[in-house]
Amino acid sequence: MQRSKGVNIKNLTRIYLIHGGNSEFKAVDNISIDIKAGEFVTLLGPSGCGKTTTLRMIAGFEIPTEGDIFLGGDKINNLTPDKRDTAMVFQSYALFPHLNIYDNIAYGLKIKKIDKDELNKKVKNIIELVGLNGMEQRYPNQLSGGQQQRVALARALVMEPGVLLFDEPLSNLDAKLRVYMRTEIRKIQKKVGITAIYVTHDQSEAMSLSDRIIIMNKGIVEQIGTPKEIYYTPATQFVADFIGTANFVSGEIAEMKGELATIKVEDVKFELPYKGTKEKGEACKLVLRPEAIQIGDTGLFKGKIIASTFMGAFQDYTIQLDNAILKCEDFNPQIKTIYEEGQDIFVNFDKNNVHII
């Protein structure tokens, strides 16, 4: 039975000295995160945002400049990587080329001097779990990339760590295999019940794998939430822009009545649900996903089609309004009117699918 553990990060900072020690670079800037036992959490963000540094501090490969890391309630700042109840699945697989699959998976247990019968039982169970039956005597160079990744996953799982760490493990695989392997990783994680912390810059990977996503940018946490929360109610413009495709329209809060805001965009006023802190007279930005925009012969705003592209499942439009350019995805175009470049149209949007930031 898996012994899952929660992870608590308190005011964690990692500073690097650069230019001969004359200046500092804050790779991670005072972040606090609570991860529950058995949860699958993804650290997501662009290159240089601090996600890998955060993962490496949890693993013990980097030492925090400030702050604390707790695993299962125990502070682990001063423990070496081998003394922490974690295991890492690396981007490069890091398999031993001179050992067969069985011995690669068994390596950590042999170091721990586990009883031979117990070791054999654990390795066989893990090999079955990750679907590598019959490949025990093969060597890494005789396996596909996906199979090598399964061996790396099995080698980490067989140690029965409290937390499993993933450092962009699928980035070396082709697109189709990456989709398949992320499904397999999630299935195995759920079956075993292990806590997983996963680093990626691929938003599709994060959305499909995660219970919660932690969006990082320039060393700070921009937002923590479920994939749905991150997509539909982004906390900042950065989050909205990083996850999926987002349109931004500038407006003003014309009136507030409880949790209902009257928004003024150009000369048009309309009501939207709003639970934020902005007040009457303040400028705001509306986040509209492409699927939330509807176009037709009547509507709130006048616009012009500046690009129209058939994409199979949807017609992709780029629309010019007076003060914004919008991307629109009109699904099932076979039964719709197709508007061509240069045509004047009107724009509406689903008010339940508009978010104010």
Q: Where are the domains of the chain?
A: 7-238, 245-356
What superfamily does domain 7-238 belong to in CATH?
P-loop containing nucleotide triphosphate hydrolases (3.40.50.300)
Which comes out higher in pLDDT, residue 210 or 20? Answer: 210
pLDDT tens for residues 227-255? 999 999 999 999 999 998 999 999 999 99
CB 347 within 8 A of CB 300: yes
- pLDDT tier at 267, thresholds 50, 70, 90: confident
Q: Is the pLDDT of residue 137 over 60?
A: yes
Task: Say yes or no: domain 245-356 is CATH 2.40.50.140.
Answer: yes
Percent with pLDDT over 70 in the chain: 99
Which comes out higher in pLDDT, residue 170 or 305? Answer: 305
Hey, do 7-238 and 245-356 end up sharing a CATH topology, with the first three levels equal? no
d(CA 139, CA 353): 52
Q: In what order do the strands lie in the sheet with 7-18?
A: 23-35, 7-18, 66-71, 74-75
Q: Is the pLDDT of residue 174 over 90?
A: no
pLDDT at 220: 98
- pLDDT tier at 273, thresholds 50, 70, 90: confident
Cβ neighbours of residue 113 under 8 Å, at least 6 residues apart? Answer: none
pLDDT at 112: 87
pLDDT at 1: 47
Can you spell out the DSSP letters for 210-268?
-SEEEEEETTEEEEEE-HHHHHHS-SSHHHHHHSS--EEEEEEEEEEETTEEEEEETTE
Least confident interval from 6-15, 44-53, 106-115: 106-115
pTM above 0.75, yes or no: yes
